[in-house]
Chain A
């Protein structure tokens, strides 16, 4: 079984997770830019983070046989902090990088005017750079947020079929599907979806344009949720091909819209058994 986790924050995870993910069948991940728990105070803090997503993290992933790409953006929450918003001016220099396969996570957190501005500006950046967009839908006031998100995307220069609406659930899936966007579901303990509800959604709405992710990060989360959904699908009577479509071919098709996806893992040049990560990074 081959698995592509289209949304996971590996920066917050350990090498044990990489090892377990590989053992579970994960061969590719996309790491979206997001907030870090602790608020940032300047654009420079974003630059170090973006550099890690384009340097250190793909290197770390490659040690475990996992292809790593990222999405770059100013996240919705920090779009409200005037100390952070100047990072928008610097995004173009990151959006041209080979490892960047979308603009994201963008979208709404509290649905403020500052979030409106950042979302519209970054949808335009995606259109300008030939990139699709990963759009986070809000956790509070979710259905209203989804409607507003779809309206803004529709008014943008980015076609709906180049947009992935993420963190969907039973209440938002229908409207999201009607919009023509790709449909993302985060299977995350306690606050988002779980495996069995995910299987029900797949039964009801089908497997087309559906992506499932763990959204694992620094919170209580599980980087193996993708595999658990695959197992739940098989147990519920879905076939191997359905699993491959949802957990591999759909994410490959969506992020492949960037023309930058590279699924062969670059060999860690000149390494033998004792590499620096396995030994704690002298």
Chain B
């Protein structure tokens, strides 16, 4: 609920700065659709398909505010599979990686792409961390990794509103409650503020803060 809602093709087209950008966007989607219908032979490691070049160039052609949405739509239109998603993530700029993470729920059934989420959660780039804790992570991260993702958001200042299905996954999670309580104690001992979000998610666990 808490990631920006996926934007449709029409919404994105309406938000583009001008007709040149709209024409570019239409051509990019057509390229991607062609790739989906007749997947060309596997690309060499260095030569990308046309739509993949457009995936990289979306920011300067469509405006950086639209780039995430344009890139995500291209991935869906191309029906990018796990190999393509992994390659685009690994070869991508931070902005491209973010789009791959956002497209995961629409493109990957099952936990096979969880390595990409885990990679993003290892970074200290809050834009990637934020994109990583969406619905795909909610569905597929194991409990230990998910708890650490929540804690990482608190550490790095990513608002917990970004964490998909926070209430459902936190409910009854005594281990998460313990980690939050310990973290709050560490902050307090150091004379630092406890993030507001911490109390909120602790309440969601339904566990009483324990004295230790």
Contacts and interface: CB of A to CB of B under 8 A. Distances in A.
Given A98-B56, A276-B157, A269 B127 contact: yes
B15 interface: no
B40 to A, nearest CB: 16
B127 A273 contact: no
A89 B94 contact: no
Interface residues of B, number: 32
Contact of B126 (A96, A99, A269, A273): A269
Contacts of A89: 46
Interface string B113-128: 0000000000111110
B199 interface: no
Given A98-B60, A270-B157, A276-B155, A55 B91 contact: no
Contacts of B157: 270-276
A236 B12 CA distance: 52
Contacts of B53: 96
Nearest to A55: B94
Given A59-B125, A275-B126, A276-B157, A259 B94 contact: no
B200 interface: no
B124 A277 contact: yes
A55 B48 CA distance: 20
B46 A56 contact: no
Contacts of A98: 56-60, 64, 67, 93, 95
A262 interface: yes
Interface string A79-104: 00000000001101100111100000
A58 B87 CA distance: 22
A51 B92 CA distance: 8
Contacts of A266: 64
Given A90-B46, A260-B60, A270 B124 contact: no
A23 interface: no
B158 interface: yes
B130 interface: yes
B126 A54 contact: no
Contacts of A279: 155
Contacts of B95: 98
B156 A282 contact: yes
B90 to A, nearest CB: 9
Contacts of B97: 55
A268 interface: yes
Scoring A98, A259, A262 by chain B CB atoms within 10 A of each residue's CB, the highest score goes to A98
Nearest to A280: B124
B39 interface: no
A281 interface: yes
Contacts of B124: 56, 276-277, 281-282
B162 interface: yes
A268 B158 CA distance: 10
B125 A56 contact: yes
Given A98-B95, A277-B124, A270 B155 contact: no
A271 B159 CA distance: 8
B165 interface: no
Given A54-B93, A268-B126, A281-B124, A96 B155 contact: no
Nearest to A51: B93
Contacts of A90: 45-46
Nearest to B193: A274
B94 A59 contact: yes
Scoring B123, B152, B162 by chain A CB atoms within 10 A of each residue's CB, the highest score goes to B123
Contacts of B59: 98, 262
B127 to A, nearest CB: 5
B126 A271 contact: yes
Given A260-B60, A266-B64, 13 more contacts: A55-B94, A55-B125, A59-B126, A96-B53, A96-B57, A269-B126, A269-B130, A270-B159, A270-B162, A275-B157, A276-B124, A277-B124, A282-B156
25 contacts: A51-B93, A54-B94, A55-B93, A55-B94, A55-B97, A90-B45, A90-B46, A93-B91, A96-B56, A98-B56, A98-B59, A98-B64, A99-B93, A260-B60, A262-B64, A269-B126, A269-B130, A270-B126, A270-B158, A271-B156, A272-B157, A274-B195, A276-B124, A277-B124, A282-B156
Interface of B: 45-48, 53, 56-60, 64, 67, 91, 93-97, 123-127, 130, 152, 155-159, 162, 195
